[in-house]
Amino acid sequence: MSLPVIAIDGPAASGKGTLARRVAAAYGFAHLDTGSLYRAVGVLLLRLGKDPGDADAAAKIARALKPDDTILTDPDLRGDEAAQAASQVAVVPEVRAALLDFQRGFAKHPPGDARGAVLDGRDIGTVICPDADAKLFVTASVEVRADRRLKELQERGIPAIPSDVLEDMKARDARDSQRAVAPLRPAGDAFVLDTSAMNAEEALAAAIAHIGSKTGLGTRR
Ligand SMILES: Nc1ncnc2c1ncn2[C@@H]1O[C@H](COP(=O)(O)OP(=O)(O)O)[C@@H](O)[C@H]1O
Ligand SMILES: Nc1ccn([C@@H]2O[C@H](COP(=O)(O)OP(=O)(O)O)[C@@H](O)[C@H]2O)c(=O)n1
């Protein structure tokens, strides 16, 4: 029997990563932040001195990526340079194809003794796990998301100009939602969760209510 899979998608800084981690903890599931795969490909490409638009080099790196590669936990992945490079390699169909097996493998056989899997990204409910047991599309206004990202940068001591953060967010939104392959959009059967006026606790409660109604699953606590 296959283990339950929860798909969580949404734009940058919508809170999908925070929600995915909390949902995974609540149900005893393993969590995969699929954005880190695209970020890893982008960072490795930059470290090789290649252009983030070099599709052949990006595809080669994506095909070689393994679950225990140290790049997946490298702090460089969290920077804005990595985010921009990630959204550039993410438009390459060969990169997406190479990362598909990695993600489906995790969903089918989550590590450790996890009782299921939570994957967060842009195309989990539409492409990677179209048969997921529950799908959430987390969103918030672009202004709220830019403000969250700005606070995050400030907390990490990274200087940032508010108008630049907002412009970067809009540029990435446009690239992610307008690309030809696996564009960012809610799956037809996704529950859309707008967190603009919700804190992380409220978002978790709404997600658990939806997952419970779809799957009958109960949380551990
Ligand atoms: N519902 C929420 N309300 C306010 N801030 C949030 C909420 N969810 C997440 N955050 C904060 O917003 C920032 C971006 O959240 P994150 O989960 O990393 O987003 P994503 O994975 O969608 O990029 C983080 O600093 C996080 O603590
Ligand atoms: N499943 C996914 C996850 C990320 N991505 C790409 O990778 C970039 C970085 O994703 P992320 O989830 O780490 O970014 P944030 O939303 O955390 O800012 C995105 O802008 C997308 O272009 C994707 O195309 N598909």
Same domain, 96 and 133: no
What pLDDT score does 52 carry?
86
Same domain, 120 and 216: yes
Same domain, 220 and 136: yes
Same domain, 196 and 134: yes
Distance CA 94, CA 65 (A): 13
Same domain, 210 and 166: yes
Distance CA 34, CA 17 (A): 10
H or E, element range at 82: helix 80-89
Q: Quick one: which atom of ligand 2 is closest to the CA of 17?
A: 17
Same domain, 190 and 120: yes
Q: Quick one: which atom of ligand 2 is closest to the CA of 82?
A: 9
Q: Is the pLDDT of residue 24 over 70?
A: yes
Same domain, 181 and 126: yes
For the Cβ of 9 lying below 6 angstroms from any atom of ligand 2, the answer is: no
Give the end-to-end CA distance of the chain in Å, rounded to a whole number.
24
Q: Which pLDDT band holds residue 221 (cuts at 50, 70, 90)?
A: low
Q: Is the pLDDT of residue 10 over 80?
A: yes
Q: Is the pLDDT of residue 77 over 70?
A: yes
Sign of dihedral through CA atoms 176, 178, 180, 182?
A: positive
Last residue of a domain, one of 113, 147, 168: 113
Distance CA 29, CA 119 (A): 10
CA distances from 111 to 30, 70, 83, 198 (A): 7, 16, 26, 31
For the Cβ of 121 lying below 6 angstroms from any atom of ligand 1, the answer is: no
Same domain, 155 and 214: yes
Measured from the alpha carbon of residue 136, the closest ligand is 1
Mean pLDDT (whole number) for 93-106:
95
What pLDDT score does 92 carry?
95
pTM assigned to the model: 0.96
Q: Provide the b/e sequence for 179-192 (b: ≥16 CB within 10 Å).
A: beebebebbeebbe
Q: In whole numbers, what is the pLDDT of the chain averaged over residues?
A: 95
Q: Quote the ligand 1 centre to 55 CA distance (angstroms).
A: 30
Q: What is the CATH number of the domain that holds 147?
A: 3.40.50.300
Same domain, 50 and 76: yes
Last residue of a domain, one of 113, 128, 163: 113
Q: Quote the ligand 2 centre to 87 CA distance (angstroms).
A: 6
Question: What is the tens place of the pLDDT at every residue in 100-153?
Answer: 999 999 999 999 989 999 999 999 999 999 999 999 999 999 999 999 999 998
Q: Is the pLDDT of residue 20 over 90?
A: yes
What pLDDT score does 88 carry?
92
What pLDDT score does 176 carry?
86
Same domain, 174 and 191: yes
Parent domain of 178: 1-29+116-221
Sign of dihedral through CA atoms 26, 22, 118, 210?
A: positive
Same domain, 95 and 137: no
Nearest CA to ligand 2 atom 19: 87
Last residue of a domain, one of 113, 136, 170: 113
Number of domains in the chain: 2
Best of 18, 145, 194 to mutate for ligand 1, by most ligand atoms within 8 A of CB?
Answer: 18
Distance CA 21, CA 27 (A): 10
The CA angle 44-88-90, to the nearest 5 degrees, is 85
Same domain, 146 and 77: no
For the Cβ of 10 lying below 6 angstroms from any atom of ligand 2, the answer is: no
Nearest CA to ligand 1 atom 13: 148
Question: What is the tens place of the pLDDT at every residue in 37-74?
Answer: 999 999 999 999 999 889 999 999 999 999 999 999 99
Distance CA 95, CA 87 (A): 11
H or E, element range at 121: strand 117-121
For the Cβ of 95 lying below 6 angstroms from any atom of ligand 2, the answer is: no
Question: What is the tens place of the pLDDT at every residue in 169-182?
Answer: 999 899 889 988 88
Mean pLDDT (whole number) for 5-26:
97
H or E, element range at 33: strand 30-33
